Amino acid sequence: MKKLIKVICVMIIITGISYSQTINISSPKGSDIWYKGKTNDIKWTISGNMNNFVKIRLFTKDGRQKLLAITDKTPNNGSFPWTIPFTFASDEYIVRVKTIDNNVFADSNKFRISEESAPPPASPSRDRFKAKALNVNPIAKSGPTSIRPTPSNAPDLVITSFRQDPPNPQKSEHWRFEVSVKNIGNVNAFFPKGFNTIGHNAKGTLVGKTENRDITIPPGQTQKFVQYSGINKVGTFPVTFKVDPGNIVNESNEMNNKKSGNFTITKPNGGADLVITKITTDIPRTTQGFYVHITVNNKGLGFNPIQGQQLWIKTIKGNPIFSFKGLLNVKPGESRTVKCWVVNPPAGSISWEVKVDPDNLLSEANENNNVKVLHLTVK
C-alpha cells in the first residue's frame, strides 16, 4: 500500500509540472485568411519556465504532415514575422510552435492561405497609375493587367557581385561561380527547401541553383551562393545571374534581381603532361590478388585538377580490371603514387596496359605519353 501511494504522488507531481509549461498561439486564428506574398506575425504566449528558443513549422490542416520549416530557431518572445510563399495551394493549414528541445509545443487553429484578388482590368496608363499609388509592381499572372502586391515592408534582394573561383580558369580546370546576394529590404527573405535561389544564363543555357535546405537572408545581410557552369571552352562569354528566378519571394522591388557580365576561360599555360614513370608490384603475385603501385609525374607546366576516371589497368585487348576514380592532383614537377589492388588475376605470364587519364578529360601538352605496359608473372 505504501508503494502504491508513492507512485500516485509521483504521477501527480509530474502532471503538475507538464501543465505548468504551456504555449498558446493567438495568431493565426481560426477565422484568419493570410494572403500569399503578404507578411503576417505569428504570435503566441507562454506560461512556465521553458527553453528560450522555438522552431515554427507549417502543417496540413489535420496536423499530420509537415510542409515547411518556417524557422529553425527564433527567440521565444511571442512573435515572428512570416512572408507567405506563393508556392502553397489555397487551403487550410495550421502553424506549430515548438521549443527547440521538443519539450513544449502548441498548434494554431486552422487558418486559410489564399490568393489575393486581382483588380479589374484597366487601360495600361491607368494600371501604371494604380501601381504607383498602391506601391505595387505590375507582374503578369493571368493577363497583362494583373498585378501582384509588393508592399514596402518586404525583403529586396540584389546581386552585389559575382566572380569566378579561381579567376580566369584554364580549360578543363575545375572552377565555379561565387554569387553574393544582399537583402536591402527590411524583412527576412525566405527560400524554402527545394526551390531555386539563383539562376544563371550563359550562351542560352538557363541553370537553376536548387537548395537542399531552407535559407533565410535577414535585412542588411549578404549570402554567398555557388554555381557551376557547363561551358568548358576557351573564350570570353556573357552571363546573367538572377536571384529568386521562380519569384518565390515577394519583394518591394522586383526589377533589380539581375546582374550581367562576362567570364573568361583561358588556354592551358603550357598544359599539364602526365606520365607514368614507375610501376611496382607486391611479391608474391598470386591469383588471390596483389597490390600494384603506379607513380604518375606531371612533366608539364600546367595544373588542371579534374574529377573523374583518372587511371586504369587493363589487359592489352580486354576491359579494365582496375579503375581509379578520384581527384588526381599532380602539380608541375611533382609525382603521386596510386596503390591499386588487383583481384583474382589469371595465373601465368600476362601483359597489362596502364593508362593515366584514359577518358582524355585533361587537356595536356602531350597526349601520346599516357600509357605504360606492364609484363609480369602470376603464380
Taking only the tens of pLDDT, the chain with its 379 residues reads 444 434 333 333 333 344 478 999 999 998 899 988 788 999 999 999 999 999 999 998 888 888 888 988 899 999 999 988 876 778 899 999 999 999 999 999 999 998 764 444 444 433 333 333 333 333 333 333 334 444 568 899 999 999 988 887 766 667 788 999 999 999 998 888 777 778 777 655 556 666 778 888 999 999 998 887 767 677 888 888 889 887 888 888 888 999 998 888 876 656 678 899 999 999 889 999 899 999 999 888 776 665 555 777 777 767 777 777 766 778 888 898 888 888 888 899 988 899 888 877 777 777 788 899 989 999 8
Cell 506574398 maps to which residue?
A: 37
- For residue 168, CA distances in Å to 107, 172, 207, 235, 300 come to 53, 12, 20, 10, 20
Provide the 8-state DSSP code for 3. H
Q: What is the pLDDT of residue 340?
A: 85
Rounded to whole angstroms, the Cα distance separating 70 from 72 reads 7
Nearest CA-CA partner of 239 in 252, 229, 253: 229
Provide the 8-state DSSP code for 251. -
Its CATH class, for the domain covering 20-114, is: mainly beta
Residues of the chain with CATH 2.60.40.10: 20-114, 154-265, 274-378
Q: What is the pLDDT of residue 121?
A: 43
- Burial code (b: 16+ CB inside 10 Å, e: under 16) for 145-154 equals bebbbbbeeb
Nearest CA-CA partner of 111 in 182, 63, 69, 155: 63
Given the candidates 2.60.120.10, 2.60.40.1220, 3.40.50.720, 2.60.40.10, the CATH classification of the domain at 154-265 is 2.60.40.10
Q: Does domain 274-378 correspond to CATH entry 2.60.40.10? A: yes
Helix (H, G, I), strand (E, B) or coil at 363: coil
pTM exceeds 0.85 for this model: no
The C-alpha cell that represents 374 in the structure block: 606492364
